């Protein structure tokens, strides 16, 4: 039996201490008979010093990485991991995962979950080859979440959920961090991992 690989793609803040703490909580999921390996992926080669603000972090990501390059980095990690894989992405991490979904079935990925991945709105033509759960925020400043939801919810293998929290609610560095929302969805992610593990 192959180990389950859980690959977690960070948002624009990268693998900050706060994000590592979130991943640590996620990794407390109950597992079945298969062992579970966790891989935490940052968009950055070197973790930048503390960002001054969310705007600064977004600007840094846009100038130094971008969704396309982040996707390529993720794909190399996915392909280098032996055995079944679950992908979890936050913000740009989820957008990078979504960009790869046409290739994921052939790379051993069994399922994905993407949180508040707003760049997906520029890639709605993509058809996924694996089950993908999209957790959309309550609203976004720059586009209509309802319109994105309408475009995505009829796609095969895509499950769309619009939650009552805002973009970034799982990250303590975000202005929109919400403790009760984070607690609820960390539990949901743990169930997602446990369910996949029990099926192996």
> Residue 34 has what pLDDT?
64
Per-residue pLDDT at 106: 93
- 6 touches 193 (CB < 8 A): yes
- Predicted pLDDT of residue 48: 84
Cα distances from 60 to residues 5, 106, 166, 174, in angstroms, run 29, 32, 22, 15
What's residue 1's pLDDT?
56
pLDDT at residue 105, as a whole number: 93
Task: Report the pLDDT value the prediction gives residue 53, as an integer from 0 to 100.
Answer: 84
pTM attached to this predicted model: 0.95
pLDDT score recorded for residue 59: 93
Q: Tell me which residues of the chain have a pLDDT lower than 50.
A: none
Name 8's bridge partners: 40, 88
**pLDDT value for 2:** 76
């Amino acid at each position: 039996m192959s180990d389950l690989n859980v690959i977690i793609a960070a948002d624009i803040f990268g693998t900050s201490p706060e994000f590592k703490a979130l991943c640590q909580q996620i990794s407390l999921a109950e597992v079945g008979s298969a062992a579970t390996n966790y891989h935490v992926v940052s968009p950055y080669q070197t973790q930048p010093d503390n960002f001054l603000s969310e705007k600064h972090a977004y600007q840094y990501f846009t100038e130094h990485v971008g969704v396309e390059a982040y996707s390529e980095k993720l794909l190399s990690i996915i392909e280098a991991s032996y055995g079944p894989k679950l992908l979890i992405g936050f913000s740009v991490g989820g957008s990078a995962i979504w960009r790869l979904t046409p290739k994921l079935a052939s790379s051993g990925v069994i399922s994905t979950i993407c949180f508040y991945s707003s760049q997906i709105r520029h890639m709605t033509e993509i058809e996924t080859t694996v089950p993908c759960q999209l957790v959309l925020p309550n609203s976004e400043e720059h586009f209509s979440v309802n319109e994105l939801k309408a475009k995505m919810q009829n796609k095969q293998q895509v499950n769309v959920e619009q939650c009552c929290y805002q973009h970034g609610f799982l990250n303590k560095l975000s202005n929109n961090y919400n403790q009760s929302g984070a607690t609820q969805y960390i539990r949901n992610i743990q169930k997602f991992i446990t369910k996949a593990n029990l099926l192996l």
